[in-house]
Chains A and B, each alone.
Chain A
Amino acid sequence: MNIALIQTKGGHASKASLEAAGFAVGIGETVAVVSGELQGDGGLGAVGVSRVLQGPADLDDAQLAKLVSAAAQQENANLVVCAQDDLGKAVAGRVAVRLNAGLIAGVTAAPQGGSYTRNVFSGKATAQVKGNTENLVVTTIPNAIGMPEAQGGTAAVETFSTDLGSSRVEILEAAQPSDGDRAPLPEAELVVSAGRGLKGPENWGIIEDLADSIGATTACSRPVSDIGWRPHHEHVGQTGTAIRPNLYIAVGISGAIQHLAGVNGSKVIVVINKDPEAPFFKAADYGIVGDAFDVVPKLTEAFKAL
């Protein structure tokens, strides 16, 4: 039996969590654990989860780890899977310690013969990793595994809890999504990103328009976030957010090795740069050599015409 730890938004499993659940289902029968509100089965039955254990709301990382570990013990599970999102980064390690389990973090493909492929060297390489322990905790990188096929089932939801103790973490201000309807960068399937080639923050309108024309999330290079043209959370690259969208459009970014490291997991890369020698073209699938201020509005119009 496997356990999948699920993060919900408005009562539905997040996309990254559904991927993690589908990954676990691909390995064996899977019971999901959620904390708090759930609409129906949260969409988990459809990806093959057999049952959902619904714990109390508003748990901190330590309490959530206790909940998941208790669920693993109750279900006699020796594999716990979770997305490598903010929750995975706060809770998966705790669960591993509680269950005396090895932790394989940042997995990018289904396991083969007990061997898991994980991201290392910031996307510059992968490693095949095996657990040394009877129990194992695995986290999956959002948008790397792919969404599981819908199986059309429904999972029974059961209330579940254990002795969770008290919390020392107090929420002062709940998260306010900054980007409206746009998908968060780590989960985004389409990303439009720009760099110093845009010459100034006042010119980002054409990037926003291009992103809006295909429903993409916006991102930027490190220099642009360092000089304050764009917020830090938009910085993609080795020391910012690592992403792996289906489509990454880079405008006016030269493609330093540190930037490539954070984006080269993208399935398709499009580079728009006026310098034909920009190193980014070597890592690109498609390219346009031209001035961003000329090319980007035309490309936006072409997308809108679809």
Chain B
Amino acid sequence: MEFLVCISKAPDTTTRIAFTEGDTRFSEEGVQFIVNPYDEWYALVRALELVEAGGGKVVIVSVGGPDCDPILRKALAIGAHEAVRIDANPTDAGQVAAEIAAYAKDKGFDAILCGKETIDHNGSAVPAMLAEHLDVPCIALCTSLDYEGDKAILNRETAKGIEKVAVSGPFVLSAAKGMAEQRIPNMRGIMAARTKPLNLVPAAGSAAGTTVEKFALPAAKAGVKLVDADNPTELVHLLREEAKVI
């Protein structure tokens, strides 16, 4: 099996968000960047587990500048076999999906795994767009991936509960919690990652379908109103009369 895992650079989960240039750009000052958790913990680790059990290769791909190389090395240290960086400044999901599709279309991957969303853009948009470009099924919000022969067996989250499906032939999935457990890279992996291939691929020149005009932070809370622990009836009263939520 050969898997392609899409990797996105994202600000660490503890980052306090700030903007610059008239609130039009995310301020990267002092920000630690990580592999987007859904891409790393679930998509990448599950692909590695399947290859460890049945043979094959895991290729990782990211769209970005040289600032993406450290996170690609991190994913190589976790166990991916080779990395590809598509040399373009990522601006929106449509552009990123088109760039990855242009790279992947004639590579014959058995499956393409993405995280269910990135923790900075939260669009959950790339997997379905990628699948449409490649004319393959998109199985969204997967909590498991296994193979019975050539057939992929997946559980996915739906509004009605967990659904079990089978797919024959190549497909794209988006990975949710439950698919795998986070792995911490060891020293051997980190050393090995230094010499694994990190290939630079020129951009296809895909255009963005959207433009961010301005960012904003949510309004600060007015402050907590404390209720005495012996008087929860007061809380019920406030929720009904003041907040009007019950």
Indicate whether A170 sits within 8 Å of B166 (C-beta atoms), given known contacts A16-B159, A96-B94, A268-B239: yes
Q: Give CA–CA (A302, B133) in the complex, Å.
A: 55
Q: Which of B70-78, B168-176, B184-192 contacts A (4 or more CB under 8 A)?
A: B168-176
Contact of A238 among B119, B169, B214 (CB under 8 A): B119
- Is B139 interfacial (CB 8 A cutoff)? yes
1/0 contact string of A84-101 vs chain B (CB within 8 Å): 111111111110111001
Q: Which of A22-30, A149-157, A194-202, A239-247 contacts B (4 or more CB under 8 A)?
A: A239-247
- Is B53 interfacial (CB 8 A cutoff)? no
- Is B125 interfacial (CB 8 A cutoff)? yes
B224 touches A122 (CB 8 A): no
B224 touches A281 (CB 8 A): yes
A-B interface contact total, Cβ < 8 Å? 285
- Within the complex, the shortest CB–CB distance from A143 to chain B, in Å, comes to 12
1/0 contact string of B177-212 vs chain A (CB within 8 Å): 110000000000000000000000000000111111
B138 touches A105 (CB 8 A): no
- Within the complex, the shortest CB–CB distance from B121 to chain A, in Å, comes to 6
Q: Give CA–CA (A257, B16) in the complex, Å.
A: 8
Contact of A288 among B94, B153, B165, B226 (CB under 8 A): B226
Q: Which residues of A contact B119 (CB under 8 A)?
A: 121-122, 238-239, 261
1/0 contact string of B82-97 vs chain A (CB within 8 Å): 0000000000111001
Nearest-CB residue, chain B, relative to A189: B245
- Is A62 interfacial (CB 8 A cutoff)? yes
Q: Which residues of B contact A123 (CB under 8 A)?
A: 218
Q: Give CA–CA (A167, B139) in the complex, Å.
A: 12
B112-148, CB < 8 A from A = 116, 119-133, 135-141, 143
Q: Give CA–CA (A102, B163) in the complex, Å.
A: 30
Indicate whether A285 sits within 8 Å of B224 (C-beta atoms), given known contacts A101-B209, A131-B209, A131-B210: yes
A235 touches B177 (CB 8 A): yes
Indicate whether A62 sits within 8 Å of B224 (C-beta atoms), given known contacts A104-B210, A129-B211, A238-B119: no
Q: Which residues of A contact B26 (CB under 8 A)?
A: 121
- Within the complex, the shortest CB–CB distance from A261 to chain B, in Å, comes to 8
- Is B3 interfacial (CB 8 A cutoff)? no
- Within the complex, the shortest CB–CB distance from A262 to chain B, in Å, comes to 10
B229 touches A290 (CB 8 A): yes
A257-276, CB < 8 A from B = 257-258, 261, 264, 267-268, 270-271
Q: Which residues of B contact A87 (CB under 8 A)?
A: 159
- Is A227 interfacial (CB 8 A cutoff)? no
- Is B107 interfacial (CB 8 A cutoff)? no
- Is B1 interfacial (CB 8 A cutoff)? no
B92 touches A102 (CB 8 A): yes
Contact of A240 among B128, B131, B161, B177 (CB under 8 A): B177
A89 touches B116 (CB 8 A): yes
- Within the complex, the shortest CB–CB distance from A242 to chain B, in Å, comes to 7
Number of chain B residues whose Cβ lies closer than 8 Å to a Cβ of chain A: 88
- Is B156 interfacial (CB 8 A cutoff)? yes
Q: Which of A36-44, A45-53, A70-78, A171-179 contacts B (4 or more CB under 8 A)?
A: A171-179
- Within the complex, the shortest CB–CB distance from A174 to chain B, in Å, comes to 6
- Is B238 interfacial (CB 8 A cutoff)? yes
A172 touches B138 (CB 8 A): no
Contact of B246 among A16, A168, A172, A247 (CB under 8 A): A247
- Is A283 interfacial (CB 8 A cutoff)? yes
1/0 contact string of B60-83 vs chain A (CB within 8 Å): 000000000000000000000000
A130 touches B138 (CB 8 A): no
Q: Give CA–CA (A246, B240) in the complex, Å.
A: 12
B246 touches A125 (CB 8 A): no
Indicate whether A132 sits within 8 Å of B245 (C-beta atoms), given known contacts A14-B159, A242-B122: no
1/0 contact string of A113-146 vs chain B (CB within 8 Å): 0010011111111111111110000000000000
A93-B138, A239-B177, A261-B13 are known; give 4 further A-B pairs, CB within 8 A: A9-B159, A96-B125, A167-B137, A298-B232
Q: List 24 A-B contacts (CB under 8 A).
A: A61-B137, A62-B132, A89-B141, A90-B139, A93-B126, A96-B209, A105-B122, A120-B121, A121-B11, A125-B217, A126-B215, A132-B207, A172-B164, A173-B163, A187-B159, A239-B38, A247-B239, A268-B239, A283-B221, A285-B224, A286-B226, A287-B226, A290-B229, A299-B232
Q: Residues of A with Cβ closer than 8 Å to B?
A: 7, 9, 14, 16, 60-62, 65, 84-94, 96-98, 101-106, 115, 118-133, 167-178, 184, 187, 190, 214, 225, 232-233, 235, 238-240, 242, 246-247, 257-258, 261, 264, 267-268, 270-271, 281-291, 294-295, 298-299, 301-303, 305-306
The 4 closest A-B pairs by CB, nearest first: A102-B209, A290-B229, A93-B128, A175-B161
